[in-house]
Structure 1
């Protein structure tokens, strides 16, 4: 016989802290508060939103002069998952305020006054007090109520955050202004809001679109609904991947540069556009659409199969930012004629040869240039200067030196400059011939064009056979390797996880980066690896909070170090020393006995040099712990 009983499923008090521990970058968390401010704007009034980053006092404030809230509204805003906003507003889930504030700092105060009410309400949340005071719970959060004196009236909301959990640095304000200029461009352009970061106004970001290239598109979905948008061409090809479709919901940019699987080809790196996807669901952090949802898949399928999109992409492949002729390059050198535009940094060989061929005078007759350039191909050096009054120059387009140039048109310009100088000073011809011969020898020995795929950097240390980075991090490593500005190293469980066959709990990989780059690296990786949680400089408290979050099965802890020893993948000895540090300094969920097992298996495989291990242990001030691990005293 069975019976129905009642159980208490009141959420644990740590829920607010845990909501803030996953999913937000600093920029996204502040944007969540700006979203709330925009949702509260007063109709037909330009709302003023101010974001202040206090680098000395270590605080963050977001202030608006919108409608404000009464006591009931503030209580609702502080209630987890009570969504009081309607469709069409940026925040709908009733989670953003709490999770964003918790992600940014341990203490926050929300102060608000509704327009015309004459009352002010405020709630203060202190993480440590909330967790330690057993008398406080979900049903008795203290809220202050104050009647405003005449002349004190105001309306809007102020969110003040102290004891920050995130790094604050001086160039952050300029990054936020640029980001918000893109994220809220629709509101800024229409003068619905004005957003300032540290008193400087955010300007809506506008791409340089090729004149006449914009085409409106309408995607018909299987439900009968239509998605409105447009595609266009950038004036210049993007080499950083900043192209593709920008996906909006209710006027806010949710996902920039979406390729929809058909825009990934390099020849389409000028295609940009916008889709307004108001009916497609987003996650409750509002930083991504839910790609597994039927609505998103319907839009993606409609975009890929849209006839207008197909025609536009086909036509864009034939359009290039390579000039039709190299004549402007040569005219600039020989005649001082200013060019109409700039050349791209890289030009493929075939279109460059066509442009050079187009610059030749008809019938081989000398042109107006002081030195006439004629094209090979022929055997010999990259170019040679003939004798006589015309000073003819023969450019060998078959030369490896010419073909290895990132932009052969620039190489042709360099040749033209030297040829012009040779015409004025014949004595340098000997130098030119000797230099060109040496260039041939250099390219013969070192200049073989790389095959498809990445080349290892010469300075990258060789790793022992059978040891390396965890397979699921390889693509992540390659993405970071493409950015030469980032100094990084995967270490600890990033290489050692395979040696712990009975690993229990969640994996916390370690990625070390140079100071000031953790946030940028995390942002870059989140956009490409959505199934992994990336956290900047997490401590044991933050990692503990993640232990009960279902989505956090795989975690990458990104830590900033002023000096990173070794290459982009730590060797066995450094990885072991770093793993001990990760356990004892940062509290990753791993027992010292587990680390001892890793060491034993690696030692059995002959991967550990004890002298190196002890050297790394001394550098990290973990000698006693490492010695205990070696001897088994753990």
Structure 2
């Protein structure tokens, strides 16, 4: 290997115009760019973050926080590309990494980036203007005049704070390219911002033990509450978690199995699945210092499938794992290192069965030993399977007991016909949707009538009947059924 000490060296300074224009194409979306700036606010211990955008006059995007702010030298360093070495140790709560986010995220969306910060009663400001860089061919940052600062949106609110930072984007060349109506283009580009921020920062905007809550507002409205694990739903199944220990810190893994679709409200479905639906958002949810980095993926350890659609696995990693997880600049992609990937693979079978059981038998009470299904599953072999009516079901046993030999043979033929004609393809198509089978008053009356008739014709105890299909699928109606039958 060639040793550096043996070489003649030449300094090659990057051309600022070419490099900045290239970095603008790193792949930030509007949502991921603004999320990167919110990271900075949270790292600065802000309690309130306000985001505003408007294109009715001179278009702008502004992000204001009440964090600790920066002094003039600190702000100058923050405006430097590569202001921090990614291999340097960071504060445990720091959400940054490369020292590029503020500049790269912002300039991917605009040509003028102004940052004003207040600390210790003093205001300082710096501005990247790509026209200035292009004309000079140098890495020149503009120091705005006090008059220019007062014209910035939200400047007055920053001035009223004891400390904080204001970031303003202007001159949206990429948004305006090919657009005849910039205001409409703004509306389109920012349409998914509220939901994106709500999900990515949901652990900051909600109460979590031992951690201060952060208020994040978009155009004056607080972000909606989002929780991909639906902690408030009593039918959710939190499974036993594990801690993967490493010399750089612990990785905490906590699986959750969501309730069956029939026990999810429409708000629950939107919260847990969003536009991609429950099937598309199954998988691991990786948090770096409580900030959601990547979600809805199994990292190719298992394929996405119907039986896993209710499964979410929370994975918490510290920022000391950034290089091991191959975290990218946008903090929107990561891959687990081999030792963690192997442990996650070992954990999957532990929650897979619970997920499969929840999808297959929605509403079944955990630990119901007397559960008797109407249908039984069998595997004849060669990868085939089939479902048959359960001949050991108490209702069928009671019915057969009232028949002579000829009638029992007719019953067997009828049961075989029904089992053979089960429309599996149609049932699978319905299960793949997130539509819920609602249990209204009419359905309750139907269950009451069915239970009464079964009790009357079979003379089976009511409690035993309610431990069979289809009653077991509606545990919330058990007491109502008993009350109506016994009244």
When normalised by structure 2's length, the TM-score is 0.61
Match of 1:213 in 2: 237
RMSD: 4.2
- Cα distance, 1:112 vs structure 2: 1.5
Contact 2:30 2:190 in 1 (8 A): no
Which residue number in structure 2 is paired with residue 198 of structure 1? 219
Partner of 2:315: 275
Matched, 1:78 2:110: no
SS at match of 2:337: helix
1:228 paired with 2:229, answer no
- Provide the residue aligned with 2:283 in structure 1: 244
Shift of 1:78: 0.7
Provide structure 1 residue ranges, at least 5 long, that are not aligned to the other structure.
326-348, 367-373, 380-394, 421-634
Query: Residues 359 and 288 of structure 1: is their aligned pair in 2 closer, same or farther, counting only changes over 3 Å?
Result: farther
Q: What SS class does the counterpart of residue 24 from structure 2 fall into?
A: helix
What is the aligned counterpart of 2:170 among 158, 162, 172? 162
Q: TM-score, normalised on structure 1?
A: 0.48
Q: Which residue of 1 aligns with 2:358?
A: 319
Secondary structure of residue in 1 paired with 2:108: helix
Structure with the higher helix share, 1 or 2:
2
Change (3 A) 1:66 1:351: farther
How far apart, in 2, do the equivalents of 1:323 and 1:76 lie? Answer: 56
1:126 correspondence with 2:126: no
Alpha-carbon deviation of 1:161?
1.1
| Aligned mates of 1:402, 1:11 — CA distance in 2 | 63
1:183 to 200, 214, 220: 200
Closer, same or farther in 2 for the Cα pair 1:143/1:359, shift >3 Å?
farther
Is this contact kept in 2: 1:376–1:396, CA < 8 A?
Answer: no
Tell me how far 1:259 sits from its aligned partner. 1.1
Kept in 1: contact 2:49–2:66 (CA 8 A): yes
Higher RCO, 1 or 2 (CA under 8 Å, sep at least 6)? 2
| Residue correspondence of structure 1 range 385-400 to structure 2 within 5 A | 398-399=420-421
Q: Which residue of 2 aligns with 1:111?
A: 116
Shift of the alpha carbon at 1:76? 0.8
Residue pair 1:48, 1:64 contacting (<8 A) in 2 also: yes
Partner of 1:141: 141
Work out whether residues 279 and 309 of structure 2, in 8 Å CA contact, stay in contact via their aligned partners in 1.
Answer: no
Q: Give the equivalent residue in structure 1 for 2:333.
A: 288
Counterpart-to-counterpart distance in 2, 1:228 and 1:297: 16
Structure 2 counterpart of 1:28? 32
Match of 1:262 in 2: 302
Q: 1:66 to 1:28 in 2, by over 3 A?
A: same
Seen in structure 2, the aligned counterparts of structure 1 residues 121 and 324 have a Cα distance that, compared at 3 Å, is closer
Q: CA deviation at 1:301?
A: 1.1
The question of whether the paired residues in 1 share the 8 Å contact of 2:82 and 2:98 is answered with yes
2:344 match: 303
Which of the numbers 84, 94, 98 marks the counterpart of 1:89? 94
Q: 5+ residue gaps in structure 2? A: 151-155, 177-184, 262-276, 365-384, 403-409, 447-487
Q: Is the 8 A contact 2:127 2:143 kept in 1?
A: yes
Superposed, 1:442-591 pairs within 5 Å as none
Q: Does the 8 Å CA contact 1:20/1:99 hold for their aligned counterparts?
A: yes
Give the CA deviation at 1:402: 8.5
Kept in 2, the 8 Å contact 1:29–1:101? The answer is yes
Once residues 104 and 377 of structure 1 are traced to their aligned partners in structure 2, the CA distance between those partners, rounded to angstroms, is 69
Following TM superposition, by how much is the alpha carbon of 1:364 offset from its aligned partner in structure 2, in angstroms?
A: 7.5
Contact 1:322/1:351 (<8 A) preserved: no
Alignment check: 8 A CA contact 1:121 1:145 kept: no
Change (3 A) 1:400 1:212: closer
